[in-house]
Copies of this chain bind each other. A is one copy, B any other.
Amino acid sequence: MVVVMSPDATDEDVAHVVEKVESVGGEAFVSKGVVRTIIGLVGDLESFHGLNLRTLRGVADVHRISDPYKLVSRQHHAERSTVWVGAEGSRRVPIGPDTFTFMAGPCAVETPEQTLEAARMAQSAGATILRGGAYKPRTSPYAFQGLGVRGLEILADVSAATGMPVVTEVVDARDVPVVAEHADMLQIGTRNMANFGLLQAAGDAGKPVLLKRGMTATIEEWLMAAEYIAQRGNLDVVLCERGIRTFEPSTRNTLDISAVPVVQATSHLPIIVDPSHAAGRKDLVVPLSRAAIAVGADGIIVDVHPDPESALCDGPQALLGTELRELAQACRRLPAMVGRVGSHERVGQG
């Protein structure tokens, strides 16, 4: 931490800061410039926070230097992690630095038939993990909110039928137990990234968590949200970049593709990309998926639907037919260019 004094700070002001820092066991290094003095702080960050340094007389600014997260940091754990999804040995699918994992399924679970058909589509395109929403957080209280427990049961049935582990969203801390009972991985959606009670409940549930980036969260805030989960003893967290809110209206969100290498440089957690929700447009899903693979993402998660015209949620971005075939091809060929194998080659080896 660095404390920047204002140009008119007195020697007493500087001494008061030093005294405060030392009172909590820290060390303060004073650098006196012509215009202003800066004070470097060494010691325990948490104890410095309690000092309210910004309120002290003569203090112009306080800069934090080190990362505020610990458990999810590569400083804590230098090697990048692999998270295994799926209960039984024969179905366990890896998400991590050596593989590329393709996850797909319908935005919302509507019927057993639609879900099974979407799962078959996903599987034949190469997907190894099934996604599908039973609880849908919707901006409008008048929109379809998901089938709830019935949706979870359908997902569990389709998972059994196809052998694909299932990831599904949980939107309320009270639902965590029932979701954890039916699904292999809990998804925390973009609107709930800062719902700290939900993060903690997910951390306690004993299943891997897929944590989407808040659509207006900085990468640092996102990693702090992961830290909330990790703090409960659950380090099986996979991050998912899904676009951020910007001024550009031609896509629903702006996919922050740079977030992939930035996260990989600072955190050991795996990171995947959701091109469907970033773009909100079907025609961008294939090029953005290719970009995600090439930039080095550990996987992608994509909407597919057997009949987008009748989908109850996000029909306009669901793939089928030609586009899905193109995507399948990209997922088969491109990962090797960045030194990865498809996750199907490692299923059950975790």
Contact = CB atoms under 8 A, between A and B. Distances in A.
A156 interface: no
A194 B137 contact: yes
Interface stretch (A28-36, A117-125, A157-165): A28-36
Interface centre among A173, A216, A248 (most CB of B within 10 A): A248
Interface string A231-257: 100000000000011111111001111
Total identical chains: 4
Contact of A228 (B30, B141, B287, B296): B141
Given A42-B31, A142-B46, A196-B171, A216 B257 contact: no
Contacts of A265: 283
A334 B255 contact: no
A31 B34 contact: no
Nearest to A263: B250
Contact of A257 (B142, B255, B311): B255
Interface stretch (A61-69, A79-87, A126-134): A61-69
A38 to B, nearest CB: 5
A264 B58 CA distance: 19
A293 B330 CA distance: 13
Given A52-B310, A290-B338, A316-B52, A254 B258 contact: yes
A40 B36 contact: no
A322 to B, nearest CB: 14
A145 to B, nearest CB: 8
A42 to B, nearest CB: 4
A261 B248 contact: no
Contacts of A150: none
A186 B221 CA distance: 26
Nearest to A334: B337
A294 interface: yes
A61 to B, nearest CB: 8
Contact of A63 (B63, B66, B291): B63
A42 B34 contact: yes
